[in-house]
């Protein structure tokens, strides 16, 4: 009963929370702060939007519904999805002078849906990997990495790679680069004559946090941006270990989509005019900022 109450408390606190500027999410942030409505359309960039999308008057974005603060989560006040990714999504739409329509989808549905043409863009803290680049193009907007979280009181040495997790119960979210790398490299434990780690896969970060709080896993592997945030919000109950494998994160579009370059140029415009800095500061993510948006930079292998 005690574990269940802790689990509910953990998830409720995380989903309700905001975060402050300065690189350390805190108590005084205002998630409702408007840093987007003043963004003006750039006529030259608007003209580069593919004709079919301009004719429809909208960009259809598949947004992962099961998000986590400060990346993307549901506001308790309005019920709307908010977070750094949502601000970036709306700001890019304003630069390109086109309406952005978000439709919620599960993380593992988004990439196939882009391939079928159901959506123009996908968003869900997608890290660039060489495997994903076979089917989608990336347009980068910040950096993240593999982070590790444990329950308070558990001794966990810094992690430098999957082999440091041998013999442990690991949790990851389905379809993420975290899950894919863990599954692909589980053989490293056998090569060192050590017991393999066991990976449990969850549909959402909230589900994985719940399982960690109930001691159903030893270590949660997820976005370092989120896990650092969670450790600060749940101080005394969860402990952030460290980060490895820095990843570029961004929008995803179907491989070869003519929308990739307009999106990149729009993100770069936001960087150059200072809007991007204000968005990242609002969510306490200055350390994750980039100076140049890219299409398909080198990714994790």
The DSSP result for 166-218, as a single string, is: TTSEEEEETTSHHHHHHHHTTHHHHHTT-PPPEEEEESSHHHHHHHHHTTS-S
- Which pLDDT score, from 0 to 100, does residue 66 have? 67
What's the confidence (pLDDT) of residue 9?
Answer: 40
148 phi and psi angles, rounded to 5 deg: -130, 130
Percent over 70 (pLDDT), the chain: 90
- What are 207-243's pLDDT values in tens digits? 999 999 999 999 999 999 889 888 888 888 999 999 9
What structural domains does the chain harbor? 12-144+247-288 (3.40.190.10), 145-246 (3.40.190.10)
Which tokens hold the place of 99?
Answer: 């309406």
Give the pLDDT band (50/70/90) at residue 22: very low
Helix, strand, or coil (residue 156) = coil
Q: Residue 209 in contact with residue 200, Cβ under 8 Å?
A: no
Torsion over CA of 278, 282, 287 and 289, rounded to 10 degrees?
Answer: -40
- As a whole number, mean pLDDT of residues 76-92 equals 92
Give the pTM. Answer: 0.80
Task: Give the pLDDT of residue 193.
Answer: 92
Q: Check residue 7 and give its pLDDT.
A: 43
Q: Is the pLDDT of residue 19 over 80?
A: no
Tokens of 146: 């593999």
Other C-beta atoms closer than 10 Å to the C-beta of 175 total 19
């Amino acid at each position: 009963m005690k574990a269940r109450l802790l689990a509910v408390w953990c998830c409720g606190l995380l989903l309700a929370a905001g975060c402050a500027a300065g690189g350390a999410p805190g108590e005084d942030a205002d998630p409702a702060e408007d840093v987007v409505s003043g963004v003006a359309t750039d006529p030259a960039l608007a003209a580069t939007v593919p004709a079919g999308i301009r004719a429809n008057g909208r960009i259809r974005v598949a947004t992962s519904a099961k998000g986590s603060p400060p990346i993307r989560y549901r506001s308790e006040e309005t019920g709307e999805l908010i977070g750094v990714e949502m601000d970036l999504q709306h700001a890019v739409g304003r630069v390109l002078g086109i309406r952005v329509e978000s439709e919620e989808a599960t993380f593992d549905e988004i990439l196939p849906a882009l391939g079928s043409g159901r959506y123009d863009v996908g968003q869900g803290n997608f890290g660039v990997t060489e495997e994903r680049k076979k089917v989608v193009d990336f347009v980068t907007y910040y950096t993240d990495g593999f982070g590790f979280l444990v329950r308070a009181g558990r001794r966990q040495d810094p992690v430098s790679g999957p082999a440091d997790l041998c013999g442990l119960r690991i949790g990851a979210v389905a379809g993420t680069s975290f899950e894919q790398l863990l599954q692909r490299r589980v053989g490293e434990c056998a090569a060192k004559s050590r017991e393999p780690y066991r990976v449990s896969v969850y549909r959402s970060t909230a589900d994985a946090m719940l399982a960690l709080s109930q001691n159903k896993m030893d270590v949660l592997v997820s976005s370092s941006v989120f896990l650092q945030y969670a450790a600060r919000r749940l101080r005394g109950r969860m402990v952030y270990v460290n980060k490895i494998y820095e990843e570029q994160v961004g929008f995803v579009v179907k491989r070869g989509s003519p929308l990739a370059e307009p999106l990149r140029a729009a993100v770069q415009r936001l960087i150059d005019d200072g809007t991007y800095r204000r968005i990242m500061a609002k969510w306490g993510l200055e350390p994750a900022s980039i100076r140049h948006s890219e299409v398909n930079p080198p990714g994790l292998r």
